[in-house]
Amino acid sequence: MIAREQLKTEDYLTAARRLSRMPREDLPRGIGIVRAVVRRASGLVEAPIFGFNARVDAGAARQNANTFGTALGTFQWIACSPTTLTPAKADTTLSGEMTTLGFSRALASPAYTAPSSLGGTFTQVLTKTFLGSGGWSVNSIALFDQLAIGGTMFSEINLSSTASGASGDSLAITYTITA
């Protein structure tokens, strides 16, 4: 009989080897591995059987709704900053987030596109137009889960160049996420 720890290690090594031999286009997209192990009444543990999850449309729609939907705590709030960021994976705030000149954090309008195939990716597009009430410049944007300063930041980005304007000028933001 194989020791439990050895079996666990071999399970994951076997799955990793299988994944590494698969053509890139055949790899499962962002879902994961399923492992099934048969344990006989006699105590014998059979070799594990592996499969890959394939997210269906309803699963993608629920993931989208939970992440970007209309419920409280979903990522739909766009924030702007004149600061050029040095993004880091541990960031939780948008440095220099604007709260005046018509650029306070605001709710975006979402548009969801379902996956085109089993296990495929979905796209969430969030749009918001800010109307400046004075001279403004924007260098970075972030996506949050609440209106008030704070909350959880989903992602942040520096624009490729500074967007700037005067009172009455607007800035239309289209934030696209593929998952």
Question: Tens digit of pLDDT for each residue in 14-54?
Answer: 655 555 555 555 544 444 555 566 778 888 877 765 555 55
Please tell me the predicted confidence (pLDDT) of residue 72. Answer: 61
Please tell me the predicted confidence (pLDDT) of residue 99. Answer: 96
- Does 148 share its domain with 64? yes
Under 8 Å between Cβ of 171 and 129: yes
Count of residues for the chain?
179
Distance CA 50, CA 150 (A): 42
Under 8 Å between Cβ of 126 and 68: yes
- Does 48 share its domain with 107? no
Domain boundary among 16, 37, 52: 52
- Does 35 share its domain with 65? no
In the chain the first and final C-alpha atoms are separated, in Å, by 41
- Does 14 share its domain with 64? no
- Does 163 share its domain with 88? yes
* DSSP for residue 85: P
Q: Give per-residue pLDDT as tens, 50-105.
A: 555 556 677 777 777 877 776 666 889 999 999 998 888 889 899 999 999 999 99
- Does 81 share its domain with 142? yes
- Does 61 share its domain with 48? no
Residue 62 has phi, psi (to 5 degrees) of -70, -45
Q: Give residue 8's identity as a one-letter amino acid code.
A: K
Both tokens of residue 163? 């967007």
Distance CA 152, CA 130 (A): 21
The pTM (predicted TM-score) of the whole model is 0.69
Domain boundary among 12, 35, 52: 52
Residue 34 has phi, psi (to 5 degrees) of -110, 135
* DSSP for residue 89: T
pLDDT greater than 90 at residue 177: no
- Does 67 share its domain with 145? yes
Please tell me the predicted confidence (pLDDT) of residue 83. Answer: 95
Structural domain boundaries, residue 65: 57-178
- Does 115 share its domain with 43? no
Indicate the number of domains in the chain: 2
- Does 112 share its domain with 153? yes
